[in-house]
Amino acid sequence: MNLTHARMLVTGGSAGIGAAIAQSALERGARVVVNGRDEGRLEARAAELGAHAVAGDVGTDAEAIVAAATEHLGGLDVLVNNAGWGRRMSLEELDPDVFEAMWRTNVLGAAMMAKHALPHFRAAGRGAIVNIASTAAKRGYATGTAYTSTKFGLAAMTQCWQAELRPSDVRVIQINPSEVQTGFGGRDPERALDPKKLRSEDIAHATITALEMDDRGFIPELTIWATNPWSAEG
């Protein structure tokens, strides 16, 4: 896909991976709408990027978010399902309200965004959905019951959509970042960055590269690891 003038909606676009993907797309000439729940934070980031902002919670407002974005863009070519959050909880600590809220954003929200984006892809005769999953979609870990289950769920949905949508020339791409230096999980987004560990720009690079493949082909899944995050010497 040639991203020049492509119409793109990026959820979770206020910071981190979502903002980096939006910036990279804009640099290639795409027209971008960024979405997030915190309207003030979203508007500030959109102004920095030169993107259009549409606030809302993907878990409850997906239809309205897509409607507002497509009204501004005049249609849609790419949906990036990046909105998501996580919290470590052991099995003994599982909080059903937190668990359910995580699923509503990470799984149901992504599904509803894709559902409401699909008619616009069909109208255009093509499209792309990028699901930002995680290496947690490939393997569980201690205290990861809630979060990894959402990412395994997103991975399963990705496979279902690939099977359903390829005959309609809609490409569905799953991106699996390993640990990325963002504010995810409550970490300080202003902390000094480790030069050996992944940054949001690395995930944006992989995402944009996958999208820019000619439409006759697509990359179903792409996993990004830091080469050697353990030591400066190793």
From 121, 147, 152, 161, active-site residue: 147
> pLDDT-based confidence at 212, cuts 50/70/90?
very high
Q: Does residue 234 register a pLDDT over 50?
A: no
Between the two ends of the chain, the Cα-to-Cα distance in Å is 38
Whole-angstrom Cα distance, residue 104 to residue 98? 10
Q: Sketch the domain layout of the chain as residue ranges.
A: 7-224
Mean of all residue pLDDT scores within the chain: 95
Burial (CB count within 10 angstroms: exposed 0-12, middle 13-18, buried 19+), residue 109:
buried
Q: Does residue 95 register a pLDDT over 90?
A: yes
Confidence at residue 15, expressed as pLDDT on a 0 to 100 scale: 94
Interval 97-131: pLDDT, tens: 999 999 999 999 999 999 999 999 999 999 999 99
Q: Does residue 167 register a pLDDT over 80?
A: yes
Interval 5-23: pLDDT, tens: 999 999 999 999 999 999 9
Quick one: three-class SS letters along 45-58?
HHHHHCCEEEECCH
Q: Does residue 146 register a pLDDT over 70?
A: yes
Q: What is the CATH number of domain 7-224?
A: 3.40.50.720
Q: Please indicate whether residue 109 or residue 187 has the higher confidence score (pLDDT).
A: 109
Q: Cα dist. 217→30, 136, 201, 205, 212 in Å?
A: 20, 26, 24, 18, 10
CB of 161 closer than 8 Å to CB of 172? yes
141 catalytic? Reply is no
Nearest residue to 52 via CA among 60, 63, 36, 61: 36
Q: Does residue 204 register a pLDDT over 70?
A: yes
